[in-house]
Amino acid sequence: MTELYFFLISLLASVVGAICGIGGGVLIKPLLEAFGVMDVKAISFLSGCTVFTMSLYSFFVSRVKKESLVDLRTGTPLSIGAACGGILGKDIFQILTESFSLNRVGAVQAVCLMAVTLGTMLYTACKERIETRKIQNMGVCLLVGFTLGMLSAFLGIGGGPMNLAVLSFFFSAPTKTAAQSSLYIIMFSQGTSLLSLIFSSSVPEVSGFLLVLMVAGGLFGGFFGQRVNKRLNGAQVERLFMTLLLGIVLINIYNIWRYLR
């Protein structure tokens, strides 16, 4: 039953992640933590593998089918910055897990994720009244990508809601363009953070069967999510996104209480 639960969570989260461009890890990690079946290091690793698989599939399929909305002129420096930030974010996570209890680290992650999600909800609700930018400078793109990659790798969520808010504000990206660009950034940040774990021999002990199941969930989630995304307009994607944000906030409130009780 545990294996089935992990697979279903990774599948459904990846479907939603592919539709909204949030990666799926922002749902996978807090949901698995809420059930307390595994420590935060193992959950972060499994979540990262699942999100990387989904984002890799979604990006390359959209490119092959010539349906990609990603502007590579800004998307590539953003992704390179995210790759570098992903290594630092994972290193910060490793240092904290070696210095504090896993419950304390989990609580810090839950607080940070809730704060980021609330900020994204506020921005999304008010964005029609906010003047956006259209940044082209490569140095700024690298810096923005670095910050996104560092946060997402530290939180173990792939990219999460903050990617969409940042892409909308700094690059005036429409909802569906921001969703695809977010997955492109996630692919780089998660890929490098996972490689840093492998090369530093810091991969947590997890069941190989469970890892395969979750990666399969990410693959199938990317497949179905892409198809659903094409059937929805920007307003429908945004409504789904806001509903998810509210759910993420509530789950993290519970996780904070569970870690600190």
> How does 194-208 read in b/e, with b if 16+ C-beta sit within 10 Å?
bebbeeeebeeebee
Percentage of the residues of the chain whose pLDDT score is greater than 90: 8
Mean of the pLDDT values across residues 92-106? 87
Inter-residue long-range contacts of 39-43, CB under 8 Å, 24+ positions, other chains counted: 39/102, 39/204, 40/97, 40/102, 40/103, 40/105, 40/106, 40/109, 40/156, 41/97, 41/102, 41/204, 42/204, 42/205, 42/206, 43/156
The Cα–Cα gap between 101 and 109 comes to: 13
User: Is the model's pLDDT at 67 over the cut of 90?
Assistant: no
Residue 68, phi-psi category: left (phi > 0), alpha (psi -120 to 50), beta (remainder): beta
Q: What is the pTM of this model?
A: 0.80
Percentage of the residues of the chain whose pLDDT score is greater than 70: 98
- Angle at alpha carbon of residue 121, lines to 146 and 69, rounded to 5°: 55
User: Is the model's pLDDT at 236 over the cut of 70?
Assistant: yes
Token output for 245: 């944000």
Lowest mean pLDDT among 78-92, 98-112, 147-161: 147-161
Radius of gyration of the chain (CA): 17
pLDDT computed for residue 176 by the predictor: 78
DSSP 231-246: HS-HHHHHHHHHHHHH
User: Is the model's pLDDT at 52 over the cut of 90?
Assistant: no
* Block residue for tokens 């906030």: 249
Which DSSP category does 205 fall into?
P
Which DSSP category does 157 fall into?
S
User: Is the model's pLDDT at 146 over the cut of 90?
Assistant: yes
For residues 55 and 183, the answer to whether their CB atoms sit within 8 Å is yes
Lowest mean pLDDT among 5-9, 117-121, 185-189, 244-248: 185-189
User: Is the model's pLDDT at 35 over the cut of 80?
Assistant: no
Mean of the pLDDT values across residues 155-172? 81
User: Is the model's pLDDT at 143 over the cut of 90?
Assistant: yes
User: Is the model's pLDDT at 161 over the cut of 80?
Assistant: no
pLDDT computed for residue 81 by the predictor: 92
Residue 158's pLDDT band, with cuts at 50, 70 and 90, is low
pLDDT computed for residue 34 by the predictor: 80
For residues 148 and 163, the answer to whether their CB atoms sit within 8 Å is yes
Nearest to 81, CA basis, from 151, 23, 161: 151
pLDDT computed for residue 77 by the predictor: 92
The Cα–Cα gap between 226 and 220 comes to: 10
